């Protein structure tokens, strides 16, 4: 006998919504108050969700457990598959020594702290976000800035503040891929809207970062570089997200921005060099890197971009999926046909294993193709590095699997829909709150992917109920989460570890919180206007 969802199991909508929020409250408490590790907080939240599903929603235990397993499976493939392979490629470049050449090639371009921030914390960090994500950009950018002479506070703070606009497209687009999958909406449409929102914010961020560093007057000294950074990054991000999809906007935008800034510095220099009070520029050793060695160092990422580009093309994906045995789609055992929505329609619980056309497979192949370009590296070391990356990511893998399990359980039980119905009370103002919900999700989990998994279904249901375009709400959820990365406990811990200032997370939080709130409110206003007077910004 199929089990039917219900949206008001506690008798009233508001009491039911409060019960549905219990797993999220547990997550908040464990992360923000107890400062627990991500996998511990996710486990506690998942247990809370199971208890609420059993005792409040009356969901049979086999259905609840199978919902969690279904979500964990989606977390492992395709999401974790992308994360593992992306971090693996990065680890190989570090292990082979090529990453040192990449860093050195960027560090030698200028001694001006403002321009170093644009090159490393904004552009190169965006590149790392696009290829690896999950804390890698902040860790590397912060360490590089400190290595160039920034104080730990400024190095960590600027790295966090700059790593914003690229986040929704991080790790080859995982957050937006998750958002579209969890909401059941068209991936290209959700990606296109997020690209239009974040490209506007991408113009603002470089100006914001430089103003924080040196004040408005001295920011004007590097206005040409700021405009080039913001406009090039935003323009490419807009074009790639709208024409190709969620996988490559960060990689192409960051690479184009680095090239554009280098070209600008060939014909323009700031009137004076800016450094922080008391700091001295790093004395570089003789440059022994030739243009050929620099190109070889960048080769793994260039190859990765080519592979991911082709894998993101719809026609190419169809060719791959047409190969016998390349795709397996099935109803999840124990769930398919056993859950009904309140209107009597079946709740879809299919799972697709498209191992060949998955983004992680493209990255894996690009990594092996890149091995001959890495000096002194071998395929044997590459395989060893892959297994070492699995061990390195064991806790993030566990966290992602549990968060996705929690999200699937909240969706299949009806808890997410209950929260969405409660938010319908905000009416037309829900558009303003959409990015804030995404911000809260990333603050709680430290991951835009997790925030999209938790709230995308609710965002869609609420948007439909209040007459808002659901793709806008889901995209705003992903975009809003970008500006919580700088204040999430996970990001703060990564930044302090990278700058050898563990224990100073509170100081760093105070440095970033005002900027985080301000940028999120700008996005909230933009989203609200996109429902009305700026609706022309939305794709048809």
DSSP run (H or E) holding 340: strand 339-340
Rg for the chain (alpha carbons), in Å? 23
Report the sign of the C-alpha dihedral through residues 233, 449, 91, 353, in that order.
Answer: negative
Is there a contact between 147 and 111 (Cβ–Cβ < 8 Å)?
A: no
- The pLDDT profile of the chain, 540 residues, written as one tens digit per residue, is 799 999 899 989 889 999 999 998 887 788 667 767 778 888 999 999 999 999 999 999 999 999 999 989 987 887 778 778 877 888 898 899 888 887 777 667 787 889 989 988 899 888 878 876 666 678 777 877 876 778 888 888 999 999 888 888 887 788 999 899 888 899 999 999 999 999 999 999 999 999 999 999 999 999 999 999 999 999 999 999 999 888 889 889 998 999 999 999 989 989 888 887 766 655 555 567 788 888 898 898 788 778 877 876 768 888 999 999 999 999 899 888 899 988 788 887 888 899 998 878 888 999 999 999 998 899 999 999 999 988 888 887 887 788 778 888 988 898 877 887 787 778 888 899 899 888 877 876 667 887 888 788 888 988 988 889 999 999 999 999 999 888 876 677 777 776 777 667 767 888 888 899 999 999 999 999 999 899 898 988
CA–CA separation, 131 and 86 (whole Å): 6
Three-state SS string across 23-81, please?
HHHHHHHHHHHCCCCHHHHHHHHHHHHHHHHHHCCCCCHHHHHHHHHHHHHHHHHHHHH
Question: What's the token pair of residue 501?
Answer: 């200032």
User: DSSP strand E in 131-178: where?
Assistant: none
Q: In whole angstroms, what is the distance from residue 495 CA to residue 497 CA?
A: 5
CA proximity to 419, closest of 458, 450, 457? 458
Distances (CA, A) of 280 to 111, 113, 265, 275: 10, 11, 22, 8
Distance in angstroms between the alpha carbons of the first and the last residue of the chain: 42
Contacting residues for 32 by C-beta, under 8 A, at least 6 apart: 443, 444, 489
Dihedral sign (CA 7, 10, 12, 18): negative
Question: What CA–CA distance (Å, rounded) separates 32 from 518?
Answer: 20
> For residues 419 and 415, what is the distance between their CA atoms, to the nearest angstrom?
6
Question: Any residues with CB less than 8 A from the CB of 251 and at least 6 apart, and which?
Answer: 127, 130, 131, 301, 304, 305, 308
Residues 6+ apart with CB under 8 A from 4: 339, 340, 341, 342, 344
CA distances from 67 to 1, 53, 62, 252, 481 (A): 17, 11, 8, 37, 25
């Amino acid at each position: 006998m199929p089990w039917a969802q219900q949206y008001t199991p506690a008798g009233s909508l508001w009491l039911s919504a409060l019960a549905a929020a219990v797993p999220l409250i547990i997550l908040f408490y464990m992360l923000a108050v107890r400062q627990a590790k991500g996998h511990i907080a996710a486990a506690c939240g998942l247990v809370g969700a199971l208890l609420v599903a059993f005792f409040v929603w009356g969901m049979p235990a086999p259905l609840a457990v199978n919902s969690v397993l279904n979500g964990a499976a989606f977390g492992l493939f395709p999401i974790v598959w992308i994360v593992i392979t992306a971090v693996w490629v990065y680890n190989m470049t570090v292990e082979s020594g090529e990453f040192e050449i990449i860093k050195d090639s960027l560090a030698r371009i200028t001694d001006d702290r403002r321009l170093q921030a644009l090159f490393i914390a904004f552009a190169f960090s965006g590149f790392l976000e696009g290829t690896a994500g999950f804390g890698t950009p902040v860790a590397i950018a912060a360490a590089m800035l400190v290595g160039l002479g920034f104080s730990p506070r400024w190095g960590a703070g600027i790295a966090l503040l700059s790593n914003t606009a690229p986040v929704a497209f991080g790790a080859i687009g995982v957050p937006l891929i998750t958002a579209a999958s969890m909401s059941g909406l068209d991936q290209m449409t959700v990606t296109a809207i997020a690209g239009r929102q974040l490209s506007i914010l991408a113009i603002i961020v470089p100006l914001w970062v430089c103003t924080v560093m040196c004040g408005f007057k001295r920011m004007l000294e590097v206005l040409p570089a700021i405009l080039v950074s913001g406009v090039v990054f935003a323009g490419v991000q807009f074009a790639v997200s709208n024409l190709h999809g969620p996988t490559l906007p960060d990689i192409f935008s960051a690479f184009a921005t680095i090239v554009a800034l280098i070209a600008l510095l060939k014909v323009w220099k700031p009137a004076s060099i800016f450094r922080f009070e008391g700091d001295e520029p790093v004395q570089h050793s003789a440059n022994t890197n030739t243009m050929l060695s620099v190109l070889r160092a960048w080769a793994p990422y260039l190859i990765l971009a080519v592979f991911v580009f082709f894998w993101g093309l719809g026609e190419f994906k169809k060719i791959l999926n047409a190969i016998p045995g390349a795709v397996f789609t099935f109803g999840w055992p124990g769930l398919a046909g056993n859950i009904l929505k309140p209107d009597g329609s079946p709740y879809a619980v299919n799972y697709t294993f498209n191992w060949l056309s998955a983004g992680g497979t493209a990255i894996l192949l690009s990594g092996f193709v890149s091995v001959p370009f890495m000096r002194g590296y071998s395929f044997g070391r590459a395989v060893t590095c892959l297994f070492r990356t699995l061990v390195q990511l064991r806790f993030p893998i566990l966290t992602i699997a549990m968060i996705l399990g929690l999200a699937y359980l909240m969706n299949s039980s009806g808890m997410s829909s209950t929260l969405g119905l409660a938010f319908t009370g905000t009416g037309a103002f829900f558009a303003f709150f959409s990015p804030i919900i995404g911000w809260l999700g990333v603050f709680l989990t430290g991951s835009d992917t997790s925030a999209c998994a938790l709230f995308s279904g609710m965002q869609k249901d609420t948007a439909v109920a209040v007459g808002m375009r659901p793709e806008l709400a889901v995209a705003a959820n992903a975009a809003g989460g970008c500006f919580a990365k700088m204040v999430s406990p996970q990001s703060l811990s990564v930044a302090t570890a990278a700058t050898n200032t563990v224990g100073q997370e509170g100081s760093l939080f105070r440095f970033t919180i005002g900027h985080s709130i301000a940028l999120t409110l700008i996005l909230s206003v933009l989203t609200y206007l996109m429902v009305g007077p700026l609706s022309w910004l939305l794709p048809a």
